[in-house]
Amino acid sequence: MLGSTASLDKRFVSMPAMQQWHGTSKPTMDIRSLKCFILTAELGSITRASGELGIVQSALSRKIQTIEDELECTLFTRLPRGIQLTPAGRRFLERARRVVREVDFARMDLKDGAAEVQGAVSLGLSPTLAPLLAPDCLAQVAADYPGIQLKIVEGFSATLLDLLITGRIELAVLTNPPRTTMLQAEPAVSEEILVITPPGARGIQPYYTLDELGNEPVVVTSGLRTVIEDQLRRHGRALNVAAEVDSVEAIRRMVMRGQAITLMPASTFQEDVRAHRLDAFHVANASLHRLLVIAQPLSGRDTPAIRQVAETLARQFSALADEGAFRLLQRLPAKAAKARRA
């Protein structure tokens, strides 16, 4: 017999050597810690997050501190009321969501087994997302799961939410959905909202200030207006809306003709911006964004087909995020943009 663990420690290796072998004796981040970080980031409050998680605030703070120590960076800025993600925290949030999603999908894969997945699935996408997501999602599902009949339903987020709750579609990508016990919602990505103008109209100024944005008449969809004004209200500001137009393509044409400026998520007109057909600008000191979540009704069906479509969609979001689809990218050189237009 070799004896107890304690005797093994004494006979074979000292505790300092054990700590050196493992790298550190401090706690390290795990899936539970990542989920705690994600919820805290979404709620913007350690108090609210600890309440939902059912743990004391000090324990939650220690989990977050452990992650910050391991990453060697600060993830949150402490405010008089609540907390706010730092730029590093926002980047890590997307990575953390992907890690948690991959673990969840691995669990689902094992649960579903190797049997052929079959069934009909209706997926709701907004007008700003359908052109970006639908073609590849349909192609990937057809290639990987030929037994799934996938239908795409286009509508604004409020309409899709109603379709979900009433059981007329099984899945949807929603924008900043209300907190409700009727949905199972998995955050997919946080996407910056930019000011979009005709090319050359702004000059060399790389951003809009909040005062400039408030004085500029804009054309915007009704859904995005709600999302943006909710965030501007925290800064004591509001949009100067010249018109609500619930057609993304109509807004695009108006801006290209010099008739209007608008606010849109970074991915919506990214190709036009990179090709110099439109210009895009950050809004300084506001962090305007939309949170996209993959949602399904808690009371609805939960089949392998639905789960596999949700997984395909989540992987698509991850790949697009890695490519920079949800942020403002450097524009193509003028010669390359001209060649692409030709």
Confidence (pLDDT) at 169: 96
CA 307 – CA 186 distance, rounded (Å) = 12
Give the residue from 44, 152, 130 showing the smallest Cα distance to 90. Answer: 44
Tokens of 4: 């107890």
Residues of the chain with CATH 3.40.190.290: 191-289+328-341
Enter the CATH code of domain 191-289+328-341. 3.40.190.290
Confidence tier at 332 by pLDDT (50, 70, 90): low
- pLDDT at position 113, please? 54
For 95-109, 150-164, 215-229, 261-275, which range has the lowest pLDDT when averaged over its residues?
95-109
Alpha-carbon torsion (120, 124, 129, 131), positive or negative: positive
Range with lowest mean pLDDT among 87-101, 110-124, 163-177: 110-124
175 forms bridges with which residues in the sheet? Answer: 292
More confident position, 134 or 339: 134
Question: Taking 50 as the threshold, does the pLDDT of residue 23 lie above it?
Answer: no
Give me the CATH code for the 14-90 domain, please.
Answer: 1.10.10.10
Q: Which of 245-254, 292-301, 326-335 has the highest mean pLDDT?
A: 245-254
pTM of structure: 0.69
State pLDDT tens for residues 120-131: 999 999 999 999
Q: Is the CA virtual torsion 278, 283, 287, 289 positive or negative?
A: negative
What's the pLDDT band for 196 if we cut at 50, 70, 90? Answer: very high
Please state the separation of Cα 84 from the chain's center in Å: 16
Q: What's the mean per-residue pLDDT of the chain?
A: 84
Task: Assess whether pLDDT exceeds 80 at residue 292.
Answer: yes
Which part of the chain is CATH 3.40.190.10? 114-188+291-323
Q: Tell me how many degrees the CA angle 313-318-324 measures, rounded to the nearest 5.
A: 125
| Structure confidence at residue 14 as a pLDDT band (50, 70, 90) | very low
Q: What is the average per-residue pLDDT within 24-32?
A: 70
**Which pair of structure tokens corresponds to residue 248?**
């993304």
Q: Is the pLDDT of residue 218 over 90?
A: yes
Closest CA to 160 of 117, 128, 192, 188: 128
Sign of CA dihedral 159, 165, 168, 170: positive
**What proportion of the chain, given as a percentage, has pLDDT over 90?**
51
Residue 340 has pLDDT above 70, yes or no: no
Instruction: Give mean pLDDT, residues 313-317.
Output: 93
* pLDDT band, residue 12 (cuts 50/70/90): very low
pLDDT band at residue 214 using 50, 70 and 90 as cut-offs: very high
Residues facing residue 262 across a β-bridge: 196, 219
| Predicted local distance difference test score (pLDDT) of residue 268 | 96
Of 87-101, 188-202, 274-288, give the lowest mean pLDDT range. 87-101
Task: Say which CATH architecture domain 114-188+291-323 belongs to.
Answer: 3-Layer(aba) Sandwich (3.40)
CATH 1.10.10.10: which residues of the chain? 14-90
**What is the predicted pLDDT for the residue at 11?**
31
Any idea which of 85-94, 155-164, 270-279 has the lowest mean pLDDT? 85-94
Residue 240's pLDDT is 96
Q: Which of 7-11, 49-53, 278-282, 329-333 has the least mean pLDDT?
A: 7-11
- The pLDDT value recorded for residue 331 is 60
Which amino acid is present at 328? L
pLDDT tier for residue 8 given thresholds of 50, 70 and 90: very low
Residue 8, burial from CB neighbour count under 10 angstroms (0-12, 13-18, 19+): exposed
Closest CA to 264 of 275, 245, 276: 245
Mean pLDDT of 169-183: 91
